[in-house]
Amino acid sequence: MNKFGYIRSAAAVPVVSVADTHTNTRRICQLIEKAAKEEVSLLAFPELCTTGYTCGDLFCQQLLLQQAEEAVREIVQFAAAYPITIFIGAPVQNNGRLYNCAIAANGGKILGIVPKTYLPNYNEFQDVRWFSTGSDFISKHSPDGDMFNISYAGQLCCFTPNQLFEVDGVTVGIEICEDVWAPIPPSSYLAIEGAQIIVNLSASNEVINKLEFRKRLITAQSAQRVLGYIYASAGFGESTTDLVFSGSSMICENGMILAEGKEFSLEPTLIIGDIDVHKLNHLRYKTNTFYGVTPDGDDVRAYRRFFRQSTATMAPETDFEAHLYRPISPDPFTPNKDEMDSKCHTALEIQATGLISRMLKIGCKTVVIGVSGGLDSTLALLCAVRAYDKMGWDRKGIIGITMPGFGTSDRTHNNAADLMEELGITNREISIKEACRQHFKDIGHDGVTQDLTYENSQARERTQILMDVANSVNGIVLGTGDLSEIALGWCTYNGDHMSNYSINASLPKTLIRTLVSWAADHVYKNTGSSGDKIAAILHDIVDTPVSPELKGSGKEIEQKTEDNIGPYELHDFFIYYTIRHGFSPEKIKFLAVRAFAGKYSKEEVDKWMEKFINRFFCSQFKRSCAPDGPKVSPISLSPRGDWRMPSDASAAIWRENTQAKKS
């Protein structure tokens, strides 16, 4: 800290190679050297950056743990050549348990090891599967906490969450990722004990809304605790089996963002900010409530053991049927007008980044997409184009295949062909008619009766074509199915249900429609003659009725999905409140009737809710073996992420609840 009270701080996000400690060590050291050249005093890296956050059960491999310790040793020795304090993440063994830790080091010495206190056990994050909580090392009797010493990386180190570090006249505390999301995060205690700066080593994935919410959380944290906050989160290099990490990083001071990293960067990032500690001290001096946490000034941690209960007189039951004092959006997945640009951009970036990561890790530069002229395949194609443009790859590496069948209409066929032509990808057409006729003959189907076999045979034939073409060009099949179809089971098992990477897996139909419209107006329109043509095609695709086009005589669209299963906007509403909030069917119907007042009657809502419950429960077996795909919206039905459900669960009580108060 200089005489004016500034301390130069930085957050670094390396491109991590998951489980490759040698590569990670080299890349971390490169960023340390870069930061030192900028005269940085405090440098924070992401959570578990020495190994990668997404190692999963590899954390239980002794070899990985040994190599992580060796990586810490090398990094600490390397940083000793510079006047800089570093904070790096690593898994640390202690007393027969494994801990997710932040390690502070300066001058070749490990200053202390801070284990993560709050371990997530929900959705895609399950730290408790591998790690123990650092609260094991907080004394239940002493508010100061017991100090524990362990031998690590050839040094005797203090191991406890209750640590403060004096760096150049500044007091620094540490918390790790989920810690800051807790009701009373460690930074609250650390600030009261004197921390002027909090360093957060994080690994936080991206979904729509989360980036902005996280930014508000961190800025509010720095304002409420009157401190500087250095936040570094995992980036592009982490695994994207079901998740994409953007490398979010920021440096805040009392609610103000001093520096912010570029999200979704494919390169390592380093952001730098000068935090004014004198200013923070002055604000604390003037804020009497800052240290007035408890009536007698005791450490607030002593009060976690005491709870006070009170009984309130219950008012008469409120008649919510008459009026509901809260807005209900009929389209909960779609961003509002003010956030539309940023959130649509984020959604496409998550999808493109996830695809890039998958392709780089398997050494592939070719994707095969079945392009039908419908919404889902259109968005998948646009995301592939974005990924290829971002990497500087030739778009000809995207192979789009139209596969006209018995019910394919001229409108969708022409839109698919024209779109591929204007986007400049490889365009192929392979009719499925003759192959299906032969298949019908082989299995004894008359080829005339348009039953389930008639439909599914076409879907599976298309998937076989895509898979075999992908094999022949050393590529992968990019899936096009969306969240709405997955929830309703509106896909042919081992047909359109299957792919190598399901890029739309967490996007509902309503949001896909919005994203395609947004791309038409904000990516392609007014970018030249070809761009205007693409925009016009995209708008026509948005206006085209949703159809699998597996029935009919062709020419015109005769099979409309929503006539069969119901309006997608209603189903997406049901999906959102069922999965996101766990509401009962009765409550969801109550909300839907108000959200769609004037458009759908109560009877119609009842009808389609029953359809939703029946299809949702009986289709879990399809979701249990769904392919990988990035989480983009707040909801994913991946069996490895948000949703884990037995395939044979009974829907009885949900059906019963669906009938509640039904007129």
DSSP conformation class of 152: E
Residue 147 has pLDDT above 60, yes or no: no
* Partner residues linked to 275 by β-bridges: 7
Query: Considering only CA atoms, which of 92, 98, 86, 43 is closest in space to residue 67?
Result: 92
Q: Which residue is catalytic, options 49, 55, 116, 422?
A: 116
Task: Give me the DSSP letters along 383-396.
Answer: HHHHHHHHHT--GG
- What per-residue confidence (pLDDT) applies to 554? 73
- Residues 96-115, mean pLDDT to the nearest whole number: 93
- What per-residue confidence (pLDDT) applies to 663? 46
317 is catalytic: no
Quick: pLDDT tens for 54-89: 998 899 999 999 999 999 999 999 999 999 999 999
212 is catalytic: no
Query: Considering only CA atoms, which of 350, 472, 342, 339 is closest in space to residue 401?
Result: 472
Quick: pLDDT tens for 352-380: 999 999 999 999 999 999 999 999 999 99
- What per-residue confidence (pLDDT) applies to 356? 97
Residue 301 has pLDDT above 50, yes or no: no
- What per-residue confidence (pLDDT) applies to 555? 76
The amino acid that residue 99 corresponds to is: Y
- What per-residue confidence (pLDDT) applies to 297? 46
Q: Are 497 and 622 in contact (CB under 8 A)?
A: yes
Residue 260 has pLDDT above 50, yes or no: yes
Encode burial over 387-396: b for 16+ CB neighbours within 10 A, e otherwise.
bbeeeeeeee
CA angle 219, 222, 228 (to 5 degrees): 115
- Domains present along the chain, CATH in parentheses: 6-287 (3.60.110.10), 337-562 (3.40.50.620)
343 is catalytic: no
Quick: pLDDT tens for 119-146: 887 666 678 888 988 887 765 444 444 4
Quick: pLDDT tens for 175-209: 999 889 888 898 988 888 889 999 999 999 999 98
The amino acid that residue 319 corresponds to is: D
Q: Are 59 and 130 in contact (CB under 8 A)?
A: yes
> Which residues are within 8 A (CB) of 567 and not within 5 positions of it... i.e. 6 or more apart?
600, 608
Percent of the chain with pLDDT over 70: 92
Query: Considering only CA atoms, which of 459, 370, 463 is closest in space to residue 420?
Result: 370
Structure tokens at 398: 């995207």
The amino acid that residue 471 corresponds to is: N
Q: The whole model's pTM is what?
A: 0.82
Query: Considering only CA atoms, which of 452, 136, 108 is closest in space to residue 128?
Result: 136
Q: Pairing state of beta strands 228-233 and 501-502?
A: unpaired
Mean pLDDT across the chain = 89
Q: Pairing state of beta strands 256-260 and 269-276?
A: unpaired
Inter-residue long-range contacts of 92-96, CB under 8 Å, 24+ positions, other chains counted: 92/150, 92/152, 92/159, 93/65, 94/148, 94/150, 94/159
Task: Give me the DSSP letters along 448-509.
Answer: -S-SHHHHHHHHHHHHHHHHHHHHHTT-EEEE---HHHHHHT-S-TTTTT--SEETTTT--H
Q: Which residue is catalytic, options 47, 206, 422, 569?
A: 47
Q: Which residue is catalytic, options 49, 101, 157, 177?
A: 177
